[in-house]
Structure 1
């Protein structure tokens, strides 16, 4: 039993610098692997009225009701029909479970601190606020997301959980 506890601890330490990468169009994004609980294919979902268009609705995942967010729409990109490569990245961030719909999942990469740079100061585009840092893996550039800003709890929790 003690070995298991040590192994779990080792896994948490090993997660530092690990990011799950995914694609939206041809752009690579990454989220810290510690937020990811699982990756599933796209599931049928129920739309919920009066939510922002990027909150597609809710899914029933093994008895858990989870809101799902289309990352394309969140970043003001054009909607595309979901296909066999479309995935939902199920995340747990600050005790909130949310599914992120992405075009496809790429891989888990380890990015050392020396290959993570601050995002350059750009115009105040909506997508820019969600980028925390930029990661470099070989010749590839990965936009590392600030998941807490992407979720912006007050935008979708109130309509789902409160009567107005």
Structure 2
């Protein structure tokens, strides 16, 4: 099917944005750090919050709420940054709440369903059906690609998950 089951053994790192649960392949996550000071970088997209200095490494940080055109929320004690390994470079993604590692069975996973035209389907690898909830599994390479990092004009919606 895909490397979610071949390489990651169906393991996801799951987190919340608002009330929706999302997941990324466990092998994409390098580490999780608490929210820290983010230095803004001028002339970048709204969702590019800036950079952090993590043990001497400068890491760009993306706000997934902004990226997905979700209403902003004030950071809480649960807000954290997941540092992901993307294309041999580290990138931080801000999430509201880290749930943890979740293992899904291949039979409970469905490829990206057809959705409304304003949803960027290439951002979604698929949906994982768990007992009482659905986890949206992100295709991180598409969410963080150079093409996806360009701001969409304000009159054109980018995503509405």
Question: TM-score normalised by the shorter chain: which range applies?
Answer: 0.7 to 0.9
Normalised by the size of structure 1, how large is the TM-score? 0.83
Q: Distance in 2 between matches of 1:36 and 1:66?
A: 14
The answer to whether the 8 Å contact 1:71/1:101 transfers is yes
Aligned match of 1:8: none
Structure with greater proportional helix content:
1
**For residues 123 and 110 of structure 1, do their structure 2 counterparts lie closer, same or farther at Cα, with a shift above 3 Å needed?**
same
Structure 1 residues without counterparts, runs of 5 or longer: 1-12, 158-164
Report the RMSD for the aligned CA atoms in angstroms: 1.7
Aligned match of 2:99: 106
Which secondary structure state, in structure 2, belongs to the residue aligned with residue 34 of structure 1?
Answer: helix
Deviation string 1:92-119 (CA, Å, 9 cap, x unpaired) is 0221210000001002111111110012
| Residues 1:65 and 2:58 aligned together | yes
Aligned match of 1:38: 31
The answer to whether the 8 Å contact 2:34/2:81 transfers is yes
Aligned match of 1:89: 82
Which secondary structure state, in structure 2, belongs to the residue aligned with residue 153 of structure 1?
Answer: coil
Normalised by the size of structure 2, how large is the TM-score? 0.84
> What is the deviation of 1:69?
0.4
The 5 A counterparts of 1:9-158 are 15-154=8-147, 156=149
Q: Distance in 2 between matches of 1:153 and 1:128?
A: 17
Deviation string 1:82-141 (CA, Å, 9 cap, x unpaired) is 111101000002212100000010021111111100121111224543111000121210
Structure 2 residues without counterparts, runs of 5 or longer: 1-5, 151-161
**For residues 152 and 28 of structure 1, do their structure 2 counterparts lie closer, same or farther at Cα, with a shift above 3 Å needed?**
same
Which secondary structure state, in structure 1, belongs to the residue aligned with residue 107 of structure 2?
Answer: helix
